Amino acid sequence: MRLLFLGDIVGKSGRNAVIETLPDLRERWALDFVIINGENSAGGFGITEKIFNELLDAGADAVTLGNHAFDQKETLVYIERQDRLIRPVNFPPGTPGRGAGLYEARNGAQVLVMNAMGRVYMHELDCPFRAVEQELLTCPLGTGADAIVIDFHAEATSEKQAFGYFADGRASLVVGTHTHTPTSDERILPGGTAYMSDAGMCGDYNSVLGMSKDEPLHRFLARIPKERFEPANGPATLSGIAVDIDDKTGLAKQVRSIRIGGCLSQSEPDFWA
């Protein structure tokens, strides 16, 4: 199975780049399943239902979230009717929406998508390890699902790496999001799970984490806010990870980081050529 995961979409620049580029990538790479983290797609904070539907129309099969999941208040309502929008599974009981979903890929495989949020330097939620463990026991790889992807939305690299080994051999891919900076540690762990500490963002990298530079610089220098953060609107880079998954085991065979467009060095999978 050919799977593509794209990191956090930041603002209009990142959103437009994904919407314009993804249809071609789906066709050119014959992708079976696409997941996008969309939690910063609405002006850098949250996601609207209109944007969510645009991402689905462009070729996304599921959209994950994170700590900005409910920054757009309308999400509290529409997330209940949108079963392909996945918020962190370790939110407290009673939180609207779902933290995991089972979907059919284009090749007929059943793909379990999960979103979990870390707790180091983040909001205190329920334990992500225990929450994901319950989902893995309910729908294990090989019997409940043909492939399992976990978007671990976290700040600390140590927590992300620990989580990767926690799920190793039980998931097809564990990929970190949230820091908006792609790491170069994509690899297959000893148990067969593809791993990357952070997929990076889909946005303008001539920025501070996707935001126009002036306000972040002012806050670092003056220690007080001057204006609200605004997404940078220059050419965007699509950042993420491509994984070739064994149809028999659900584990990773090959993995490659993705960087397309914008100002970063370019990277595409050579195993789908």
> Is 123 an active-site residue?
no
In 3-state terms, what secondary structure has residue 252? Answer: strand
210: left (phi over 0), alpha (psi -120 to 50) or beta: left
- φ/ψ region of 94 (left if φ > 0, alpha if ψ in -120 to 50, else beta) reads left
Two structure tokens written together for 6: 């794209």
Burial 42-60 (b: 16+ CB within 10 A, else e): bbbbbbbbebbebbbebbb
The neighbouring-strand residues paired with 195 are 174, 187
Q: Which of 68, 153, 178, 180 is catalytic?
A: 68
Question: Rounded to whole angstroms, how far apart are CA atoms 189 and 18?
Answer: 29
If phi > 0 it is left, if psi is from -120 to 50 it is alpha, else beta; for residue 180 that is left
- Residues belonging to the active site: 68
